[in-house]
Chain A
Amino acid sequence: AGIFQEFMVQEESVMFRINLSVLLDCLTIFGTSSSPGTQTALRMCYRGYGYPLTLFLEEGGVVTVCKINTQEPEEILDFDFCSTNVVNKIILLSEGLREAFSELDMTSEVLQITMSPNKPYFRLSTFGNAGSAYLDYPKDSDLIEAFHCNQTQTNRYKIALLKPSIKALALSCKVSIRTDNRGFLSLQYMIRNEDGQICFVEYYCCPDEDITEQEI
């Protein structure tokens, strides 16, 4: 709640569903390009069940009021990713992963992530039309801030599923990569906003398939 200048929620928790693209359209109603010097202020209100979400956007004295109809919330998909089940965890500077992700061979269907207490420690592999590529990070690299790996894990994740997280990666300064005992992947991006406040964006991804030792 620290990133809000004012934060008031009277109920224990409020949950409703709104259309994401409508929300994005409203937020960028003054245009997407933020010209320096002008900042858009936002005030967001919700009166309660059945009421629309009201957005007041102000830029240069112009106020736009948007009302978005709220919908019945659906059950949230719970990955049940519990920190007590985390097997391996690496925190590294986003810079190191940014280049890797931008150069990922997109002809490969999967990204294979190996995390291990022994060599190769942390490896990203792709298997595409142009051959296979491996990217190894040594555990004592300056890019790696924390390295807590307890057992060797190799899992494959669909690149198409990971791709959307590149946007968050681009904005972030650090990323925490965790896998649990089922091979589920958690990517937690730490983003520092303009006021120096810190937000986190989290991505979860389930492994593509179980691979046996022989296939590795």
Chain B
Amino acid sequence: MKCIVTGGNVKALGKAIHSLARVGDEIYVEPLQEGLSMRTVSASRSAYASFLFAPLFFQNYQPTESGYDPDSEAFRCKVHMKSFLAVFRSLPSLEKTVEKCLLSLNPHASRFRVQLHCKYGVVKTHDLPFQECESLQADFDTSQCAHALRAPPRLLADAVVHFPLALAEVTLVASPAGKVSLRSYLEGDTEVTRTMVTELGLNEDEFQTFHIKQEAQITFCLKEFRGLLSFAESSNLSLNIYFDTPGRPAIFTLDDAVLQVHLVLATLEEPESCSSQMTSCTPKPLAPAYDFTGDDIDDYMIAMETTCGGPAGTEPLPSPTFPMGPTSSEAQEPDSDHEGTVPGTPPQKRVRIKGLPQTNYRHEVKNVALPICCFVVLLGTCKMI
């Protein structure tokens, strides 16, 4: 793989890396025919971000080495976020001094090289360590989301700026009457009288698209969202938000001729209303676990392993033949899960992205050899920080 980025696109690339850095610790680089893909997933698998830079984004784009069989799969790798971020650390200097950026991946030489050609002919070369890996792909579908919003980045950035930096999550409430509001999310045990709650109302006519079928409310992490917003603002791209009932993933997208960005965030489930919503909102029946055996026995084994090694070791093992209706999966998680935690630590929050068949049994899907497209944003329980 070899590609050259010039001019203002260098800054866009740098911004993209910064926004990916808000999500995960590793960056998955995959040169595809349709463009260079950079993806990441958070350690708890509650957030996934993907940037796809079309060939037109580059001055020169060669996904595979010349002389290579074009049908063969391109070499994929993952790079530590820190290494990558170090190259693009200073955005102002990137904008001021860098004229050209060259990315090259040579699997034979085990070299992932980022070269910055700066002012005065100075050349900065970074050789980053990398690991060969499988493709990372979250399973989501914007068309399945009941609600959609589209807004200029400025609107949302101006709204989000009012929330304190320490605030972890924000609740978005949208009603078909044309009102959208953003509100600080408070954890169950916080004393309302002692905390500042920020709420901000937006009107339907400020949005470019407004499809809200019924009163909807989702709670998601602010950190990753801020990262995406800052990218959207710098490239002035309108942000699409697709969401459904609480507990289902919210999908944020940016679209441009040369760029496609997706951010999938887990949303908090509403504890009091979850059973009723779960039965009503899951359009597809959840596939039983033995679906894995249809793929590959190894995958099945991995699913088993990772289930055993999940974060909540005390949790009973879901048996592959366990009848996994939506309600029974809920019933299966005893509240005693976290009793073993150190006293004084806050109770772990559960976040989940639902409605993803095949995935309901994996706790921490390790970055092992998963088949293509079977990565999924989580399963049973997962911690959110």
Contacts and interface: CB of A to CB of B under 8 A. Distances in A.
Interface of A: 96, 99, 103, 105, 129-138, 140-143
B125 to A, nearest CB: 4
A131 B129 contact: yes
Given A103-B90, A131-B83, A96 B127 contact: no
Nearest to A144: B120
B83 A99 contact: no
Given A99-B93, A99-B97, A103-B89, A133 B120 contact: no
Nearest to B126: A133
Contacts of A138: 121-123
B272 to A, nearest CB: 46
Nearest 5 Cβ contacts at the A-B interface? A130-B83, A131-B128, A138-B121, A134-B125, A141-B120
Interface residues of B, number: 18
B126 A131 contact: yes
B281 to A, nearest CB: 44
Contact of B120 (A105, A129, A132, A142): A142
Given A105-B86, A130-B80, A137-B121, 15 more contacts: A96-B122, A99-B93, A99-B97, A129-B83, A130-B128, A131-B83, A132-B127, A134-B124, A134-B126, A134-B127, A135-B122, A135-B123, A136-B125, A142-B121, A143-B122
B94 to A, nearest CB: 11
B82 interface: yes
Contact of A141 (B80, B122, B129): B122
A131 B127 contact: yes
Interface in B129-144: 129
Contacts of B126: 131-134
A129 B128 CA distance: 9
A130 B86 contact: yes
Contacts of A141: 120-122
A105 B128 CA distance: 12
Interface string B107-123: 00000000000001111
Interface string B73-96: 000000010110010011001000
A137 B125 contact: no
Nearest to A127: B127
A135 B124 contact: yes
A140 B97 CA distance: 17
Contacts of A136: 122-125
Interface in B256-285: none
Instruction: Give the one of B86, B89, B90, B97 with max A CB within 10 A.
Output: B86
B143 to A, nearest CB: 40
A96 B123 contact: no
B159 to A, nearest CB: 34
Contacts of B123: 134-136, 138
Contacts of B90: 103
A133 B123 CA distance: 10
A143 B120 contact: yes
9 contacts: A99-B97, A103-B93, A131-B83, A133-B126, A134-B125, A136-B124, A141-B121, A143-B120, A143-B122
Nearest to A138: B121
A140 to B, nearest CB: 7
A133 B115 CA distance: 9
Contacts of B86: 105, 130
A143 B123 CA distance: 13
Nearest to A137: B122
B127 to A, nearest CB: 5
A137 B80 CA distance: 27
Nearest to A95: B120
Nearest to B115: A134
A140 B89 contact: no
Nearest to B85: A130
A4 B124 CA distance: 42
Contacts of A135: 122-125
Contact of A133 (B93, B97, B125): B125
A97 B90 CA distance: 16
Instruction: Give the one of A131, A133, A140 with max B CB within 10 A.
Output: A131
Instruction: Give the one of A103, A130, A135, A137 with max B CB within 10 A.
Output: A130
A142 B124 CA distance: 16
A136 B86 CA distance: 17
B128 A96 contact: no
A133 B124 contact: yes
B97 A96 contact: no
Contacts of A129: 82-83
Contacts of A133: 124-127
A175 to B, nearest CB: 15
Nearest to A102: B90
Contacts of B97: 99
A96 B129 contact: no
Nearest to B117: A136
